Amino acid sequence: MLSYALRRLLGLVPVLMAVILLTFATNHLTPGDPVATMLGDQSANKVLAAKLRAEYGLDQSLWQQFSSYVSGLAVGDFGLSYRFVGVKVTEVIWDGLKISPVLALAGTAVAVPLGLIVGVFAALRRNTIADTGVKVSTQRGANDSPPSPLTPALVAAIEAASQEVFPGIPVVPTMSTGATDGRILRNAGIPVYGVSGLFYDTPNAHGMNEHVSAKAFYDGLEFMYRLVKKVTASPGT
């Protein structure tokens, strides 16, 4: 039994090395410059770009970067985050892990007792309204919706409001999937966009202990107020 377990563990070594190599290669083969992405509209600043490139070790040779990557993994150091500039990946992961057990425990504490009570109640009254009333069935699958057109007038309004409240902050359009009411509105021919004027000081797990500073909250309100005024004043948006 022990020899079998050792063989299985040894068999994981090449798999682990392959995963490490694939992860490293994927990060470097992805088109684009991560430094330019992190700097946004400041990407033309060569001094700042060089400083950030050195901080992330991107000024080293590919072999040196891979060596640093592997040695960091050996001690639990995953490097710096590209999304949260200057923040360690381990800190980003830890912020999420601190909340995950609390969310899981809270969800289980509610779902299990409630599910048992409702299930037993329905089982004791089969084929009655108490039984069929608690059944959940899918009426139809999710419907894809066309992306809303990002018109120049709308982008101009967002950029203008951003520069008024947050000077120097670039506007970068993105698209992401999500189970929101937006798909229903878009299928009805109503464009839907998501614009946020809230900025977090540190990463926060969504839905648990989320917080922003009072200044960030009021800045977000001012941003949305100005944006709504600009959008409603321009029929072309």
- What pLDDT is stored for residue 133 in this prediction? 65
Instruction: Please give the DSSP secondary-structure letter assigned to residue 42.
Output: G
**Alpha-carbon gap, residue 59 to 131, rounded angstroms:** 66
Q: Which domains does the chain have, with CATH numbers?
A: 2-86 (no CATH), 92-132 (no CATH), 152-233 (1.10.150.900)
User: Average per-residue pLDDT in the chain?
Assistant: 79
Give this prediction's pTM: 0.44
Of 7-11, 41-45, 138-142, 184-188, which range is least confident? Answer: 138-142
- What pLDDT is stored for residue 236 in this prediction? 58
In the chain, the amino acid numbered 137 is S
- Percent of the chain whose pLDDT exceeds 70: 83
Label residue 72 exposed, middle or buried (CB < 10 Å: 0-12, 13-18, 19+): middle
**Alpha-carbon gap, residue 146 to 183, rounded angstroms:** 8
- What pLDDT is stored for residue 5 in this prediction? 76
- What pLDDT is stored for residue 139 in this prediction? 58
Q: Contact, 226 vs 165, CB < 8 A?
A: yes
Residue 37 has pLDDT above 60, yes or no: yes
Residue 2 has pLDDT above 80, yes or no: no
Q: Contact, 216 vs 199, CB < 8 A?
A: yes
- What pLDDT is stored for residue 135 in this prediction? 61
**Alpha-carbon gap, residue 225 to 233, rounded angstroms:** 12
Model pLDDT for residues 116-133, shown as the tens digit of each residue: 887 787 777 777 776 666
Mean pLDDT of 54-64: 85
Q: Select, from the ranges 79-83, 99-103, 215-219, the one with the highest average predicted confidence (pLDDT).
A: 215-219
